[in-house]
Structure 1
């Protein structure tokens, strides 16, 4: 069962709709008991880093989520702010992140190469695939995905960068470390490429 972690932010239904079209069983996880049957986990997120971390910390889901991901190695996919939460922290706030993939979340507005560009980075952009991550099985070399964000993941270990995109600078937009993955783009809004990525995550 694919479980989408419902801790108060993120468009949960959009993910469930994609998985339904793909014929893959998926449902929300709103309580710790909902995580027990998860074979895959989606950690969505929108809004600010500290707000999302606060809601997760207060939801009662963080400890059992960490037990399943870190203790039992259940694959997880963080999406948008959910990806940023995988880092150690963010320049957007003060709270520590999950630190499942070492790195720091940076602001486009504070990066010289992108500071003069419209904020947020919004719309379709090409990905440059940099690794053989299972997320990209059967993909074209430069798939297009939908983005909406003002902050980006700055990965500490380049070996964990699975794909990049360009917005003034080349930034890390997909990270993978073993069974832990994060995507800054929105696969649930990215038509066939997004559906393929979610299918790959669920089945490989």
Structure 2
């Protein structure tokens, strides 16, 4: 029986591009976009994407009734968070002073004046290098310093430094990927990141933490 990968649909995110990329790298899998908590609960692997503003994403997640299913998946199965799907795992975001799911310790902060005073634009948009902080199965076959595609104005600051799996500079160094047990999450968009991004998604589709 083929494995089923659930992409959580709580009304925020470019879900079709994630589905298309996963179907390309894991043609044997059933890749489903779902807004049904039971479907998320029964999936073999779960992808938790997000785009937009943190307050809107958290409100939509709660209103959809998917919050508990996401938290349970994060405890028990291969789980991939993307963009705001990474940020929502933490305690709180400066964006609208919004509580997150508090599954992981840490805060989400804005680039703000530090980036602007360095002559950089906010949001941080486009390709940037990711330095791998630790070896991980999802980095397999991806060269350290590979470039991935970003679109964001906020970034996470984990309360536990051991969560950091990748870092990026803009202008200072920030955490751009995190990992713990069955969880891997990225601030960048692997589905928009060409060969390196597809390899990360392929690694996720066969990862057995």
Please, what TM-score do these two structures have when normalized by structure 2?
A: 0.91
CA distance in 2, matches of 1:175, 1:101: 10
- What do you get for the CA RMSD once the two structures are aligned? 1.2
- Tell me which residue corresponds to 1:79: 82
- Tell me which residue corresponds to 1:47: 52
- Tell me which residue corresponds to 1:98: 101
Counterpart mapping for 1:1-204 below 5 A: 1-22=4-25, 23=27, 24-70=29-75, 73-110=76-113, 112=114, 114-116=115-117, 117-204=120-207
CA displacement 1:30-72 (0-9 Å, x = unmatched): 11121133111111111111110000011011122223332xx
Gaps of 5+ in 2: none
CA distance in 1, matches of 2:93, 2:6: 26
Gaps of 5+ in 1: none
- Cα deviation, residue 139, structure 1: 1.4
CA distance in 2, matches of 1:134, 1:97: 27
2:71/2:103 contact within 8 Å kept: no
* Runs of 4+ residues over 4 Å off in structure 1: none
